[in-house]
Structure 1
Amino acid sequence: MSGHVLALSGGVGGAKLAAGLGAVLAPGRLTVAVNTGDDFEHLGLTICPDIDSVLYTMSGRNDRQRGWGLADETWRTMEQLRSLGEEDWFNLGDRDMATHIARSWRLRQGASLSDVTAHLARAMGIGHAVFPMSDDPVRTQVCTPGGWTDFQRWFVGEQCGPAVTAVRFAGTPGAAMAQGFAEALARPDLAAIVICPSNPYLSVDPVLAVDGVRAALGLRQVPCIAVSPLIGGRALKGPLSKLFSERGLAGTNLDIAAHYGALIDHIVIDRTDAKDADALRTGGLAVTLSETLMKSAEDQARLARAVLAAVGVEC
């Protein structure tokens, strides 16, 4: 079956699968709706970490060694800002800074975040549609022993140290789906929805919190497949395993599946987690075993093909 594919993505892991899908699907057959709960203002600029991870990875510009930002980056601007006594807890590379300046300038001229993201995608040579989950501001906040704090302060500034007792998404309810996101969900040729291997609590839940998203997924007439971010029972990067522990969960693929519940029909798990497959199937899910570690563009494309094959979508 051919048709259009909608991917829901957070940052690094999700961006890799989005890039793989983009590589194996013909131009125009993919829409990526990206988490914007991580967005924040810094040094007078609008920073959209997950959007930028998706754009950089889909265009082949990402730094694979560091795991975030642009390849061949330099840091002279940040060094100068530091010498001037400005905040340096969130690093911005010199080339990366150009993206933030371009975005902030266009937003201040009255463009929507969707329009700006589409412009950046075109400028980077991306042949698929990339949209923020919403043009309305949504901000992920975590509750720690010190109270509520914005996500980036906890994630980068505090290095995920304080325990998290609750997560909320300021701006929801009330944030509408970006038009391109809503249109992708309503396309008559929509063939599948893919939840990329992003943190379900911090990267996917903000997308699901946007007005109308859960309802639309509940009414879907096409498969919704999630790719687990776990490999060997653990998340390779980020605070997911820590969040599982703080919730008293074992942190297995069964917890991932239980979190998404009826929103998904199918889950892709790494071959090293094959022991989880029978229990997942008993719970009513279709299960595909694959190698989900993505170290290269070839790995990204391989996993994308496996995901699409699992739901019967032709490349």
Structure 2
Amino acid sequence: MTDAPRDDRTGPVVVLAGGTGGARLARGMLDVVGADLVVVANTGDDVEMYGAYVCPDPDLCAFWLADRIDERGWGLEGDTFCVMQGLRDLGVDVWFNLGDRDLAIGLRRAERLAAGARLTDALAELTAALGVRARVLPMCDRPVRTRVRARGRWTPFQEFMIRDRAEGPVEDLAFDGIEQAVAPPEVLEAIAAARAVIVGPSNPVISIDPILGVPGIRAALRDTAAPVVAVSPVVAGEVVKGPTAAFMAWAGRTLDAAGVADHYRGLLRGLVTDEAAPALDLPVLRTDTLMTDAAARERLARETLTFALGLTA
């Protein structure tokens, strides 16, 4: 771990994350602030499958923070898929692949939740088992499920992404259960005490909007004394991975720094982007935002945090 930028403020650095971009930035931030890192992860993508309770985004963040992510970009490094093959041999339509150890995590999580544990507690047990110094918190403990309407029908998010290969155009979007969701006290306390809040380079519509939609979180971000800064997921005018372009188009946003800033209007103190001189009405840090390796992740995290802390002056 390298030294964090000097600043009189103490408290956690909170990263809002969903998908690979947010997880990678969180891993870089771990090198900068260590145990002071708190990741608030999207749970709208969660799914119950094979008797397991699967949390794709929180688990992705946990695996990245533990340096256990597989080269596929998801799942545990070196995991086997014997159970999935066994299900196929029995004639099961296995469209959602889970590694054997990944499945074990989901089964244990389902058992803990059925016994009355909070999702927050189940994730804490996972990060402890993986030896992660930082905290990974779910955006809420109650189920929220993202659904997508495309080609005239509604589909659960994972089916849209995997079975339908994210084939659009996107016609509508829903976060089932969001009105009844409650932000865990740990999330609200971390935001209130934060020295900086970083919105990761995640899909603003399907990864960050569910977090912001949980009652209490948007208000907490507006009330915190910490600067809230977003890192644009648009790199060199394109999206590195995932259907961000389709969902930004559905939301009526341009696929650039201006579109990202507009989407988060009213929340941000600054924006990090690789675009040259974007015309925005808030401070901008222009830097290379492509996280190709550990050094690039740490550099972007450090520059983003330094930029954010500078906005408190």
TM range (shorter): over 0.9
CA contact (8 A) 1:18 1:58 kept: yes
Q: Which residue of 2 aligns with 1:232?
A: 236
Of 21, 30, 45 in structure 1, the residue corresponding to residue 37 of structure 2 is 30
Q: CA deviation at 1:49?
A: 0.3
Q: Which residue of 1 aligns with 2:173?
A: 167
Q: CA deviation at 1:248?
A: 5.7
Q: AA paired with 1:279?
A: A
Matched ranges for 1:76-225 at <5 A: 76-187=82-193, 190-225=194-229
Q: Which runs of 5+ in 1 are unaligned?
A: none
Q: AA paired with 2:309?
A: G
| In 1: Cα distance, 2:225 partner to 2:150 partner | 39
Q: AA paired with 1:16?
A: R
1:69 matches 2:66: no
Q: Which residue of 2 aligns with 1:290?
A: 287
SS of the residue corresponding to residue 166 of structure 2 reads coil
1:9-64 Cα distance to aligned partner (Å, 9 max, x none): 1121101111111121132x12111100000111111110001100000000002x
Q: How many residues align?
A: 302
Q: Which runs of 5+ in 2 are unaligned?
A: 1-6
Q: CA deviation at 1:246?
A: 4.6
TM-score in terms of structure 1 length = 0.92
Q: Which residue of 1 aligns with 2:297?
A: 300
Q: AA paired with 1:217?
A: L
Q: CA deviation at 1:255?
A: 0.6
1:312 matches 2:309: yes
1:110-168 Cα distance to aligned partner (Å, 9 max, x none): 21100000011111111111110000111111122332221111011211013211211
CA contact (8 A) 2:192 2:224 kept: no
Q: AA paired with 1:112?
A: R
Distance 1:250 1:182, change over 3 A: closer
Of 3, 10, 23 in structure 1, the residue corresponding to residue 18 of structure 2 is 10
| In 1: Cα distance, 2:254 partner to 2:195 partner | 33
Q: Which moved more, 1:243-252 or 1:44-53?
A: 243-252
CA contact (8 A) 1:233 1:253 kept: no
1:57 matches 2:38: no
Q: AA paired with 1:25?
A: V
Q: AA paired with 2:140?
A: S
Distance 1:182 1:245, change over 3 A: closer
CA contact (8 A) 1:76 1:94 kept: yes
CA contact (8 A) 2:52 2:108 kept: no
TM-score in terms of structure 2 length = 0.92
SS of the residue corresponding to residue 245 of structure 2 reads helix
SS of the residue corresponding to residue 173 of structure 1 reads helix
